[in-house]
Amino acid sequence: MREIVFDTETTGVNPAGGDRMVEIGCVELINRCPTGREYHAYFNPERTMPSEAEAVHGLSSIFLSDKPLFGDSCAELLDFIGDAPLIAHNAGFDFGFLNHELQHCGRDPVCLSRMICTLVLARSKHPGAKHSLDALCSRFGVDRTARVKHGALLDAQLLAQVYVELTGGRQIGLSLLAEARREDQINEAAATLARAQRPVRAVRVHAPSLDELAAHAQFIAKMKEPLWASVGVA
């Protein structure tokens, strides 16, 4: 099963009020395992970056000024995500900005039925605990030392590891391995039983008959100084 874990960085919290998405990072999972395929892009928001938002992700107006507009590069993003389920932390926020940008450039929004929210999963699995990405990384032993500031691709990479743990992670892998071993044992037992049930055949006779020995002697007699006669075989 193919899934995409993604994260966004923005100019603020309200797309309807003019805030824009400035960065997106995506990580591909196949059967809960990262494949190494990723998508990452920055976008020019066509507006100034508020200091509060820049303090969170470190992306300045100057840095983003030469980046492409979302509409100019969204085809590559849509091709990467395909029709896979999309996983995000506090997914309603990220979906809100992603769909706002898609609609802004005349594209169809992503169906919300594809949304998987790790915040909802975490609250269900660990009620009463802290559910920030940092807290979940600490809970599951995910190394986040590189996370000095928020970054869409780095956060998506961390979230992918957290998502695997939230959905059974290593236990899934262990159960699959155990199931494979059980299947091997069943196959070997079946093969052993099949061998035991084969019909027993009579021993084949390989010694020459008297007629065959006589025919052989006649054949040798026609030969000049046959080797077999010299060694006593004939």
Residue 168's Cβ-side half-sphere holds a number of Cα atoms within 13 Å equal to 8
How big is the chain by its Cα radius of gyration, in Å?
Answer: 35
Find the angle CA(62)-CA(65)-CA(71) to the nearest 5 degrees. Answer: 150
SS (H, E, C) 53-117: HHHHHCCCHHHHCCCCCHHHHHHHHHHHHCCCCEEECCHHHHHHHHHHHHHHCCCCCCCHHHEEE
Tokens of 220: 């040798």
Query: How far apart are alpha carbons 27 and 160 in whole angstroms?
Result: 7
Query: How far apart are alpha carbons 35 and 19 in whole angstroms?
Result: 32
* Marked catalytic residue, from 89, 100, 131, 150: 150
52 is in an annotated binding site: yes
126 is in an annotated binding site: no
Among candidates 146, 143, 119, which has minimal Cα distance to 130? 119
9 is in an annotated binding site: yes
155 is in an annotated binding site: yes
Query: How far apart are alpha carbons 152 and 30 in whole angstroms?
Result: 20
Active site residue 150: yes
SS3 30: strand
CB 11 within 8 A of CB 53: yes
Residue 135's Cβ-side half-sphere holds a number of Cα atoms within 13 Å equal to 11
* Binding-site residues from annotation for a divalent metal cation: 7, 9, 155
* Binding-site residues from annotation: 7, 9, 52, 57, 155
Q: Annotated active-site positions, please? A: 150
* Binding-site residues from annotation for substrate: 7, 9, 52, 57, 155
